[in-house]
Amino acid sequence: MSQSHYLASSKQSRARVFRYVAVALFAVIVGRLFLFQVWHGRAYSEQARHNRVRLEILPRIRGEILDRHGRVLAENVLSYCLLFDPFEKEFVSGAADVDEVLTSTAALGGGERLEEWRALIEKGRELPFRPVQLACNLDITQISLIEEHKSRLPGMRIEARPRRSYPHGELACHLLGYVSEARQEEIERSAEGVYQPGDMVGRSGVEESREVALRGRNGKEYVEVDARGRRVEPTPDRPPLPARERPWAGSDVVLTVDLDLQRAAEAALGEERSGAVVVLDPRDGAVLAMASRPGFDPNVFALGLSPGRWRKLNSSPLHPLMNRATQALYPPGSTLKLLTAAAAMEEGVANPATTLEPCTGVYRFGTRGFRCWREEGHGILTLLEAVEASCDVYFYQLGIRLGVDRMAEYARRFGLRSRTGVELQGEKSGFYPTTQWYDKTYGHGRWGKGVRLNLAIGQGEILVTPLGLAVFAASIANGGTLYRPYVVASQVERWDRSRSARRPGRVTPRASPGVSSVTLKALRQAMEAAVSGPLATGRMASVPGIRVAGKTGTAQNPHGQDHALFVGFAPVEAPEVAFAVVVENAGHGGSVAAPVAAAVLRSYFHIQPDTVAVAQPGDTLDTAD
């Protein structure tokens, strides 16, 4: 055997150390094994035979959602739930059969849910130790029946668990969102201990956007129980069970919304109609009310929604789950004449006193006649009067002078071609076409020059969300700042509610439209005239004692009756609220949307409805636009 040269080297002797290391490792491990398996072995097996460990989840409490004055919008109530542990000793040892117990429980009540329970338990088996929640909101009869038969129902127990509750039902449902049970893949994907079966997860609105703050953390406790499931003292001489982990309540979330104003906005929209109302504070972008109709009762999700009901809710043609304030796109109609006017003044195409060709009720462009909404025409108008009277013919002429792209540029500056950036999921972006878009869609030169006339009065392909319109109105009101609208004023730790809510840095100017203050002032003047001037189209938005500014809009809807819109702000001298109202398929902005705005403003300024001047019958003509 030839010894290799390197073995002679003294350094190689180092390798020999590892042989001793390996032998020492062997000795240590065998020693430990002897200690546990032979020396303490009996104690362990005694303990394992008689007792077992059960994991009790100590449920967390989800944070509450409050309005800006601390009134509760979403809370938790106790509900009695039926829990079932398919790993109960009797089942493991084969002394009882899971299905038998389920069947006899179903016989006591809830028989129709047997199949559903089987599926739940199949799912629940993946996470041993964790009892499966079979039913919640048990009434006293159900509770006593189960308690009575408990001895024949191993694995079944009743536990009080917190359930999400929305005391005002449908109120602000889209803004609040709803919760439903964590899905299997969420439980698996989340980091350790974030979700357990039966935990609720926020699914939309603030419940979703503030999920991390609201949810808190579950506690857990391993308890030793005997064969009958009773808690026993820990067996001595065996490793102790892990310590109890206490649950952490989620933070409360304080919204910027005012409960009264929200209620007024929803009442003003009415039960039957579809639409949305957004009220903002133009000074910082805080959302004071965000209503969307039709709505849904978020409580039904917390109670557990059957697949059938879910399908019904989700596929309803009225889309009750959609938050129309942020997710619905509407043609803005004449409300966007404000944009055209701003563009015209900024680009030097017109000033507030400019007069153009008189309105005769129709405007000839090429071979086509473009009609004004007022058949008999408006005659000669200045720009301010044209906004006030919402004269189409005047704006056709501005559209021709401005062209598509210059108008689109101002739409971009006012944020109407992007999302507002509110934290709610699924917000849609506004849309304003450009020549490039027309070229791409219809082919170069294959679209008529007439589109700019339609765009100038807010018709055509333009689409906006009610929230986008409200931000637009707010930027006119506040002298040219586009705020990112926000809905959460603060997050408050549970034990900390008394402390003054710190206001997080939510107030973020998104951008400035870069429009001169002279132009904005003229717009404000025109908007006030549009509510209270002699030619006013938005007269029904007026509120006694308050200087209201606004602009009506009636959006042609190819699928049915016109959508009614109204945007504005008040009071004119120092705006505190800016708003946008959209009522679907309801008719004219002036007669349908403006009164909704008036009702919201009356609520905000605490003005009793009985002092409202009743609209004169003769006004109806002018309320059209």
- 238 versus 371: smaller Cβ distance to other proteins: 238
Closest to other proteins by CB, 32 vs 152, is 32
Q: Is 232 in the site for other proteins (CB under 8 A)?
A: no
Q: Are strands 65-66 and 252-255 parallel, antiparallel or unpaired?
A: parallel
Provide the 8-state DSSP code for 204: S
Q: How far is the CB of 99 from other proteins (least distance, A)?
A: 14
Residues 118-137 contacting other proteins, CB under 8 A? 122, 125-126, 128-129
What count of other Cβ atoms lies within 10 Å of the Cβ of residue 6? 9
Closest to other proteins by CB, 215 or 524 = 215
87 binds other proteins (CB under 8 A): yes
Task: For the CB of residue 194, give the shortest distance to other proteins in the complex, in Å.
Answer: 10
Nearer to other proteins, 40 or 319 (CB): 40
- Residue 183 CB, shortest distance to other proteins, in Å, is 16
Residue with Cβ nearer other proteins (15 or 143): 15
Return phi, psi of residue 416, to 5°.
Answer: -85, 0
Spell out the alpha helix ranges (H) of 307-391. Answer: 307-315, 324-327, 337-346, 383-389
Residue 463, classified by CB atoms within 10 Å of its CB into exposed (0-12), middle (13-18) or buried (19+), is buried
**Residue 36 DSSP code:** I
For other proteins, the closer of residues 122 and 186 by Cβ is 122
Asked if 58 is part of the footprint of other proteins (rule: CB under 8 A), the reply reads no
Answer for the pair 63, 253: CB distance below 8 angstroms, yes or no: yes
Cα Dmax for the chain: 121
Does position 192 bind other proteins by CB under 8 A?
A: yes
* CA distances, 255 to each of 79, 264, 290, 483, 491 (Å): 26, 17, 11, 17, 9
Contact pick of 58, 119, 160, 241 for other proteins (by CB under 8 A): 241
Q: Which is nearer to other proteins, 118 or 283 (CB)?
A: 118
Does 8 bind other proteins (CB under 8 A)? Our answer is: no
Peptide bond into 294 cis (omega under 30): yes
Please list every residue from 310 through 349 that binds other proteins, using CB under 8 A: none
- Cβ proximity to other proteins: between 101 and 343 the closer is 101
Spatial separation of the C-alpha atoms in residues 321 and 426, rounded to whole Å: 12
Of the candidate residues 8, 140, 243, 614, the single one contacting other proteins (CB under 8 A): 243
CB closer to other proteins, 7 vs 614: 7
Q: Which stretch binds other proteins (CB under 8 A): 32-40, 163-171, 429-437, 578-586?
A: 32-40
Q: Residue 29 or residue 380: which is nearer to other proteins going by CB?
A: 29
- Other Cβ atoms less than 10 A from the Cβ of 127: the count is 15
Contacts of 467 (CB under 8 A, 6+ apart): 278, 290, 325, 326, 420, 422, 427, 485, 580
CB of 41 to other proteins, least distance (A): 4
CB-based contacts of 91: which residues, under 8 Å, 6+ apart? 97, 98, 154, 155
- Which of these segments, 70-78, 241-249, 427-435, 442-450, binds other proteins (CB under 8 A)? 241-249
Which range touches other proteins (CB under 8 A), out of 18-26, 163-171, 356-364, 406-414? 18-26
Q: End-to-end CA distance of the chain: give it in Å, rounded.
A: 109
**34: contact with other proteins by CB under 8 A:** yes
Measured from the CB of residue 212, what is the shortest distance to other proteins in angstroms?
15
Contact 466, 504 (CB under 8 A): no
Angle between helices 392-402 and 337-346 (to 10 degrees): 50
Among 9, 104, 141, 512, binds other proteins (CB under 8 A): 9
4 sits near other proteins (criterion: CB under 8 A): yes
State which H helix or E strand residue 279 sits in: strand 275-280
38 half-sphere exposure, CB direction, 13 A CA radius: 6
Residue with Cβ nearer other proteins (222 or 437): 222
Near other proteins in 127-186, by CB under 8 A:
128-129
132-135 and 287-293 beta bridge pairing: unpaired
Report if residue 373 touches other proteins, rule: CB under 8 A.
Answer: no
36 binds other proteins (CB under 8 A): yes
SS3 (DSSP) at 622: helix
DSSP character string of 19-30: HHHHHHHHHHHH
Which residues 93-122 are close enough to bind other proteins by CB under 8 A? 122
Element (H, E) at 437: helix 435-442
Phi then psi dihedrals of residue 61, to 5 deg? -115, 125
Interface with other proteins by CB under 8 A: which range of 8-16, 198-206, 254-262, 400-408? 8-16
Closest distance between other proteins and the C-beta of residue 223, in Å?
13
CA distance 91 to 271: 53
Site for other proteins (CB under 8 A): how many residues?
52
Residues 209-228 vs other proteins: string with x where CB under 8 A?
A: -------------x------
Q: How far apart are CA 65 and CA 525, in angstroms?
A: 39
| Interface with other proteins (CB under 8 A), residue from 8, 140, 151, 191 | 191
Helix (H) or strand (E) holding 44: helix 41-50
Which residues on adjacent β-strands are paired with residue 488?
255
- By C-alpha distance, which of 88, 356, 96, 329 is closest to 226? 88
* Mask for 460-499, x = binds other proteins (CB under 8 A): ----------------------------------------
Q: Does 51 bind other proteins (CB under 8 A)?
A: no
* Pair of tokens at residue 170: 């449908």
CB of 27 to other proteins, least distance (A): 9
CB nearer other proteins, residue 17 or residue 614: 17
Nearest approach, Cβ of residue 325 and other proteins (Å): 33
The residues of the shown chain that bind other proteins, judged by CB under 8 A, are 2, 4, 6-7, 9, 11-12, 14-16, 18-19, 22-23, 25-26, 28-30, 32-34, 36-38, 40-45, 47-48, 52-53, 87, 92, 122, 125-126, 128-129, 189, 191-192, 222, 238-243
